[in-house]
Amino acid sequence: MKNSKLPIIVVILFALGTAIYFYPLLPERLASHWDMQGTVDGYMGKFWGLFLVPLLMVVFTGFFYLIPKIDPEKKNIEKFKGTFESFILVFNLFMLYVYILTILWNIGYSINMTSSLMPALAFLFYFMGYMMSKVKRNYMIGIRLPWTLASDVVWDKTHKLGEKLFKLTGLVTLFGMFFNQYAFCFLFFPIIISTTYLFIYSYLEYQKVK
Average pLDDT over every residue of 70-90: 94
List Cβ neighbours of 49 (8 Å cut-off, separation of 6 or more): 26, 29, 30, 32, 43, 102, 106
Closest alpha carbon to 87 in 43, 147, 29, 130? 130
Q: Structural domain boundaries of the chain?
A: 1-111, 114-210
Q: What is the model's pLDDT at position 1?
A: 44
pTM of the model: 0.91
Mean pLDDT, range 169-198, rounded to an integer: 91
Query: Is pLDDT larger for residue 105 or for residue 37?
Result: 105
pLDDT level of residue 147 (50, 70, 90 thresholds):
very high
Which pLDDT band holds residue 162 (cuts at 50, 70, 90)?
A: very high
Of 31-40, 97-106, 123-132, 150-159, the poorest mean pLDDT is in 31-40
Q: What is the mean pLDDT of residues 16-21?
A: 96
Taking the C-alpha atoms of residue 210 and residue 146, their distance in angstroms, rounded to an integer, is 13
Mean pLDDT taken over the chain: 93
Q: What is the pLDDT of residues 182-193, one digit of tens each?
A: 888 999 999 999
Structural contact between residues 9 and 89, judged by C-beta atoms closer than 8 angstroms: no
Model confidence at 88, pLDDT cuts 50, 70, 90, reads very high
Q: Is 50 exposed, middle or buried (0-12, 13-18, 19+ CB in 10 A)?
A: buried
Other CB atoms within 10 Å distance of the CB of residue 196: 10
User: Which of 33-42, 50-59, 111-120, 186-195 shows the lowest per-residue confidence on average (mean pLDDT)?
Assistant: 33-42
176: enclosing H helix or E strand:
none
Residue 142 per-residue DSSP state? S
Report helix angle 185-209 to 152-174, nearest 10. Answer: 160
Q: What does the pLDDT look like over 3-14, one tens digit per residue?
A: 578 999 999 999
CA distance 80 to 160: 15
How does pLDDT run across 57-67, given as a tens digit for each residue? 999 999 999 99
Could you write out the DSSP letters of every residue in 164-189?
A: HHHHHHHHHHHGGGG-GGGTTHHHHH
